[in-house]
Amino acid sequence: MPITEFRQALNQALDEEMIRDEKVYIMGEEVAEYNGAYKVTKGLLDKFGEKRVRDTPITEAGFTGLGIGSAMMGLRPVIEYMSWNFSLVAIDQIISNAAKMHYMTGGQFSVPIVMRGASGAAAQVSCQHSHNLESFYAHIPGLIVMAPSTPYDAKGLLKAAIRNDNPVIFLENEMLYGNMGEVPEEEYLIEIGKGDIKREGTDVTICAHLRQVGFALEAAKVLAKEGISAEVVDPRTIKPLDIDLIAESVRKTKRLVVAEEGHKFCGFGAEVSSLIHEMCFDDLDHPVIRVSQGETPLPYAKNIEAASLPGVQDIVAAVKKSLYK
């Protein structure tokens, strides 16, 4: 199976879907001439032309609204935000229009739009460019929220997102674009709302998404050297959430650590923790533990930034705490 870069897996998904369906088009800042801020759209302008790969001014609210309108008319736009931080400029279009249109028109209009781009902390881009918005968007009925951690998942989920008739928030952690992984040459899609066990284990469940999956797998290796068997569950989509897969794992291991890059209060871990306590209270040998970013705007200074973000050692410590070690 070919080894493919994360950004290239996304590029393949866009390419294949644009070949399959002429209604699919791409729009955003620098997606055409510059091949995208992270080169995800590389080569697509030359292949499909400017009518289907459109550069826009720096007007997130404008091109998001344009995309929503074209989706209502039957097209399938893929909107790229240079960073999900800038989606906040278009928040009214996303929440009041894309998410609500199908409901408010009694099903007369669907909005099959994919909004994708870089999410989360990178390397010293500071607090205005490091937002983790998965919990924020997952709070809104009408939006699907995807958060792939591997090239394989990224391609399969993006293809599924483009074919879905609902607005999809597609989050790509900025630090994952250069990661490599196996991606099949033959076509495949990943079912929306279907999680994946990245590593099997028996003593504790670690639930993680996006960049935290890699940290969780590294933590599992560290723990294995101490005789602790950790199972790593990647939900892959935040909403709908495959809570049944997480619960099944917890019923086996009796313990759960949820690792996320976002903030703890009202975060993804809070939702998973609540659901697992409702579903698996009698199975738990320790309350769910959450690992998250510090409750401050993300600092610019390299050492303080590193101290604020959750990493391998934070997950290891949380697992040991859950095991009373």
Cα angle vertex 122, ends 63, 294, to 5°? 110
Q: Which helix (H) or strand (E) holds 24?
A: strand 24-28
The distance between the two most distant Cα atoms of the chain, rounded to a whole number of Å, is 60
- 3-state helix, strand, coil split of the chain in percent (to 5) is 40, 20, 40
Distance CA 217, CA 261 (A): 15
Name the one residue in this structure whose structure tokens are 């690992």: 291
Q: How far apart are the first and last CA of the chain?
A: 41
Q: What CA–CA distance (Å, rounded) separates 109 from 106?
A: 8
Instruction: Mark whether 261 is an active-site residue.
Output: no
Q: Is residue 271 annotated as part of the catalytic site, yes or no? A: no
Q: Which of 60, 80, 174, 305 is catalytic?
A: 60
Compute the residue count for the chain: 325
- The answer to whether 275 and 138 have CB atoms below 8 angstroms apart is no
Retrieve residue 208's tokens. 């993680």
Instruction: Please give the backbone phi and psi of residue 103, each rounded to the nearest 5 degrees, phi first.
Output: -70, -45
Helices (H) and strands (E) in the chain, counts: 12, 14
Among the listed residues 17, 29, 102, 129, the single catalytic one is 129
- Distant-in-sequence, close-in-space partners of 231: CB < 8 Å, separation ≥ 6: 197, 199, 200, 201, 202, 204, 205, 206, 249, 252, 253
Supply the residues annotated as catalytic: 60, 129
